[in-house]
Structure 1
Amino acid sequence: MRRESALKTARQLPKGVIRDALLDAASSLMREQDTVEIGILDIAARARVNHGMIRYYFGNKEGMLLALLDRDVGVRIRQLEALFRLDVTPTERMRIHLEGILDTYYQIPYLNRLIQAMVREASAERVHHIAEELLKPIAKAQHRIIEDGIAAGEFRQVDPKLFYFNTIGSADGLYSNRFTLAAVFGGIPAADEALHERYKRQTVETLMAGLVA
């Protein structure tokens, strides 16, 4: 009876409120615990709703995590669309793009791990969705910037596919390696804003140095 009452009360709230609360809860738990292996009871407790709400709004935990990817990566794709409307050189466009990727991994340090977990033993439909709707738009946008830079004489000839992996590997490196940061370098448990800004500047400069003609 108590569970039914909780479900009834939750359903009376605006759908977006509960949905966003669950997505925010999952995101915050993965950041705090440095893992994508989080439980539905913990997610529901953080969101302050009954765990049945996960099934009600998303079907299951995997559906909720896919919705989280859609939300967070979708924001970045829309930012890329805005980037191409700026009247700037390919060099400046690439610099803004790289800074954006570093900011993304600082804000969502679990991103690569979540993607890999979501496609492992997943249905062909889900794999296709993640590849076509979330990952390829970013890779294609970067490829386009590189091609524009080469055509303008600003960039040297580079392999766009390899540069993409250079970018993602560099962006993911600091934020997904808390143990190395703390144990090997005697640093803080996780990157803070000051360290992020230093890492972003150095990483962008390093990547641009390998690209600019």
Structure 2
Amino acid sequence: MSTENLADSVNAAEPVAQAPEQKRSTRDQLLDATGALMTENNTTSVSFGEISAKSGVNAALIRYHFGSKQGLLEALLERDAGDNYEAMHKLVHTDWDPVQKMRLHIHGVIRLYQRVPYLNRLLIALQSESDTDIARYIMDRFTTPVVEAERAILEQGVAAGVFRPTDPILFHFSLIGACDSIFHSRSALLELVGVDMIDDKLRDRYAEHVANLLMNGLRSEPEEAKPAG
């Protein structure tokens, strides 16, 4: 599969963006402001006052729409990542070969992290700072489906003889670590590359680089020939 075709397939596998509303609702304005602050400040720690100032919406309406700051963060996570799971499920169940599937998955995850650079830190914050039931919900809704999709593609690759047996948990942390590292390291990017934001061209270069590293690690090696006799 060529790079152009791969990019086209990644776009096809992602949810179709909805046309923007003529006027954003108060709820959407609050979510937009929260996400923008997390991206601009490179942190998931934002206050009601900051969100109110950024959105132009009275801070009291945060509790009205979301109940609490945690409710706001859960709604932000659902908005930012929720729609991607259907596309991921469809990818797993296509009849494409496992190598193509895994490349598409890696590219898709990195595209998501470009749009939502705070995603992993938001997941960690909600899982570590929430009560047990909410933390379990976050795990079951957002983390486990990704791991299970990766597990399925890895198993398909092993069955096809193109992947070696690989621990899906370790693979998952390798991929998410590669995503979170570059999108969280704006100061290092500025020093090393001269940019503090990743554009589409750099994102695609990085996605292909990560895909090559991980796919080379997954490749099944032919058995060594045994000596005669």
Asked if 1:45 is matched to 2:58, the reply is no
2:13 corresponding residue in structure 1: none
Stretch moving more, 98-107 or 38-47 = 38-47
Once residues 43 and 208 of structure 1 are traced to their aligned partners in structure 2, the CA distance between those partners, rounded to angstroms, is: 41
Whole-angstrom distance in 2 between the partners of 1:149 and 1:200: 20
Q: Distance in 2 between matches of 1:160 and 1:68?
A: 27
- Does the 8 Å CA contact 1:90/1:148 hold for their aligned counterparts? yes
Structure 2 residue runs of 5 or longer lacking an equivalent are 1-23, 221-229
Contact (CA 8 Å) 2:127, 2:136: kept in 1 or not? no
> Which of 96, 103, 108 is matched with 2:104 structurally?
96
**Which whole-Å deviations, capped at 9, do the CAs of 1:146-197 have from their partners, x for residues lacking one?**
00110111111211111111111112111111122123x1521222222212
Q: Which residue in the other structure is 2:209 paired with? A: 202
Given that 1:91 and 1:212 are in contact with CA atoms closer than 8 Å, whether structure 2 keeps it comes out as no
* 2:7 counterpart residue number: none
TM-score by length of 2: 0.81
Paired residue total:
197
> Which letter maps to 1:194?
K
In 2, the alpha carbon distance for the partners of 1:40 and 1:47 equals 10
Pair 164,121 (structure 1): closer, same or farther in 2 beyond 3 Å: same
Among 112, 125, 139, the residue aligned to 1:131: 139
Runs of 4+ aligned structure 1 residues displaced above 3 Å come to none
- Structure 1 or 2: more helix by fraction: 1
2:82 matched to which residue of 1? 74
- Paired with 1:78 and 1:57, the residues of 2 have a C-alpha distance of 26
Asked if 2 retains the 8 angstrom alpha-carbon contact of 1:54 and 1:64, the reply is yes
Identity of aligned residues (%): 38
* Map of 1:115 onto structure 2: 123
Moved more, 67-76 or 202-211: 67-76
Aligned CA distance change for structure 1 residues 121 and 35 (closer, same or farther; 3 Å): closer
Specify the alignment match of 2:172 in structure 1: 164
Gaps of 5+ in 1: 1-15
1:85, CA displacement in angstroms? 4.2
